[in-house]
Chain A
């Protein structure tokens, strides 16, 4: 790789090699629908001259050709392209599994999923169990050489129940960077049994009342909100317009650092160094050391997520947010683990002075506009709160709110931080990357609910 790199005429160039070995088992309604395994490896060459050229190939024989083509493509634009200049590093990092992926065989996976399937009486249930081991080599023209080995395991389910013609659905994803110790962290059988119980309760519940309420959201809801309306709008490439024709831009402008976005008790962090997190990394995919970033701090817009390109264009340094989902994708600014920093309220303290409220513990449908300003979350498991006590379950409460509207109404933050996994989509071609998102319970005052 180094020899090929040295032959490229470039202001900056890099070659990434990535090998992904993965396995997946899918069980649907009592049947093993799919058993898949794959091994893939490939190279991506990125070259900066007057423009940027990017070529990938999964043929070792074509790497030199790919490098020549990337150089040629980088000269199709005649201008300046200020990638940030960064320190170079040589390192090897890896995450070790406590329960090795290779020791958890296909038969065991099938037995595990089928056991859960059989324990459920829900008429609709699909489970996915997916593991992968990623090996990476990164070299660049500044002298960096970084090697890595990253194991990841994820579990995903969808479930639906019907009662008297009414339907309720649930789905959730769990994932870690590590091995099958994921089964020690969460008891999925219990989680799905509980989910079925919840859905059967909610399917019979009355529609959530409309009106103005205090709103308490659970860690799962806090997590999706941190991801969607803090993490995404803080991605510097969106702020610059680089994603405008796809995932969109941001309501945040470069000049808005320091501006108030919410209550001063709110800190939202993106941190790739959380041990075991699904989006964990030590160096990003441009060879920059990972670090914790305060995106919103004390209720103010504080920091953006950068790769070398966005940092160069904004005249700053990368903060190590460049991620690439595969060997054939360019590294762009991405989240890792995005969460509300916990404070000191217990759940009981959060609800004790709520006279008339809604507790949205988890969510189902959600979406947000392409500048990350107007968003909607529909509760899955939810309850009425009356005079500090949880009362009857309610069906699908709807929150439609702006980003500053949400963050400015937060007046209490719990201490019970939890994380949930997700696959974050962005880029063109699409790059799904593994992330965590989370938070503790949050309380908001005087919120219009439907």
Chain B
């Protein structure tokens, strides 16, 4: 499909601005459980994300029947006349962009995913796991964008390896790594071994206790907190008022150890060179030494907030691409040794907010919850909950490890490059009946 030609046709239909994003995707997946492969999947898909405007009237659609694209677009162009104005729309980015060079590691396309799954399972079992479940993904996508002002192409591939291993007591350990670079992809057997080691290390977990604890969060666990927070850093959510980042720009609200970026220029699974209105992506400092520095913007939200776009335009609202957090100087072991009585938590899930504005939330630890005494893992826990406030938690960051890991998991953790993070005074609760 020639999207430049299609864009020109649309502009002749009395529209002011057009953005067309064509995505052609070949995705593979292998899912496994109980040490065996359950299903091998493939997706052969293409789609066209369409943005149309006339004055302040705007319309979005995703077309997945490309053979009918022109017919559908003609229909949608007629609809736009009757729409009300969106007073928050200030146009799509008119500035000529210069893009990073597109980068893809084609070696990833030759990987045998079923082999990776079997090796990961074998690794977990070697370390004493009774059973393992997981998923191997490979995504290959070709993107082209055409707007009134810019044209660009991008091509990207990445691989995810997720394995969750269990011991005989159903205690779990999980690894969820992601990479866009075949040289960074570890031996899958070693990934499985790490999950298996955490699962067996837990033994028969005890019911956890309530209280305030110093907690060392694995990058996967902290990735969950960061992923939910980044969505609330979108200017759309700030504008709605439903975010604990709202009205905090320029304020020091978190620990001065905390520096967080959205950075899709970093070559990882969230790498991309343009957003949905062809703005070149960039590294955006969201929090620097505890100070809220930026929100995530499209051209329109940036105009409304009297600032510059951060290259995060999504279909309706600005969205994060890839989280990157500054690291510290100490090793994971050194951070663990700083805990007199506390916890090491590998993963979190089911994060829900009772108060988006102030950041009150809770989330559930899983896949490795260890009670630590005098810097050493003493025992494994189960059945606890982190019942916290996000501002309080980010304010209590004591330190980060010098090691950082690429993590991504299911719908919980966006592609992220994060250290282990030590936080004090974390509130732990549990069921009382």
Contact = CB atoms under 8 A, between A and B. Distances in A.
Tell whether A and B belong to one assembly: yes
Interface of A: 26, 28-29, 31-42, 51-60, 62, 65-66, 69-70, 73-74, 76-77, 79, 106-107, 110, 114, 123-124, 126, 158, 160, 162, 167-169, 240-246, 248-249, 328, 330, 364-371, 373-376, 378, 396, 400-402, 405-406, 409, 425, 428-430, 447-448, 450
B7 interface: no
A405 B44 contact: no
B356 A37 contact: no
Interface of B: 29, 31, 33-34, 36-47, 58-68, 72, 76, 79, 82-88, 114, 131, 133-135, 162-164, 166, 170, 172, 174, 236, 239-242, 315-317, 349-358, 360-364, 366, 383, 385, 387, 410-411, 429-433
Contacts, number: 240
Given A160-B241, A428-B410, A364 B354 contact: yes
B44 A62 contact: yes
Contact of B43 (A124, A328, A401): A328
30 contacts: A29-B239, A32-B83, A32-B84, A35-B59, A39-B64, A51-B39, A55-B42, A56-B41, A60-B67, A69-B44, A74-B40, A106-B79, A126-B240, A160-B242, A167-B357, A240-B33, A243-B133, A249-B170, A365-B360, A365-B361, A365-B362, A367-B351, A367-B352, A367-B364, A367-B385, A370-B349, A401-B431, A402-B431, A402-B433, A428-B31
Given A58-B46, A73-B40, A162-B357, A370 B364 contact: yes
A107 B83 CA distance: 7
Instruction: Identify the interface centre among B29, B42, B82: most chain A CB within 10 Å of its CB.
Output: B42
A169 B242 contact: yes
Contact of B45 (A33, A57, A243, A376): A57
Instruction: Identify the interface centre among B350, B356, B363: most chain A CB within 10 Å of its CB.
Output: B350
Contacts of A126: 240, 242
Given A26-B316, A430-B411, A37 B79 contact: yes
A369 B39 contact: no
A241 B385 contact: no
Contacts of B61: 36-38
B82 A107 contact: yes
Given A59-B46, A106-B83, A245-B33, A54 B352 contact: no
Contact of A365 (B33, B38, B76, B352): B352
A328 B353 CA distance: 31
Contact of B65 (A40, A368, A409): A40
A245 B134 contact: yes
A39 B68 CA distance: 9
A41 B69 CA distance: 12
Nearest to B60: A36
A77 B352 contact: no
B336 to A, nearest CB: 25
B40 A54 contact: yes
B40 A51 contact: yes
Given A328-B43, A367-B350, 16 more contacts: A40-B63, A40-B65, A52-B40, A54-B40, A56-B42, A73-B41, A77-B114, A245-B164, A246-B410, A330-B41, A364-B354, A367-B351, A374-B431, A376-B362, A430-B411, A448-B433
B133 A241 contact: yes
A249 B62 CA distance: 34
B31 to A, nearest CB: 7
Contacts of A364: 354
A343 to B, nearest CB: 23
Contacts of B135: 245-246, 428
B33 A400 contact: no
A249 B132 CA distance: 12
Contacts of B84: 32, 110, 114
Nearest to A63: B44
Contacts of B36: 77, 79
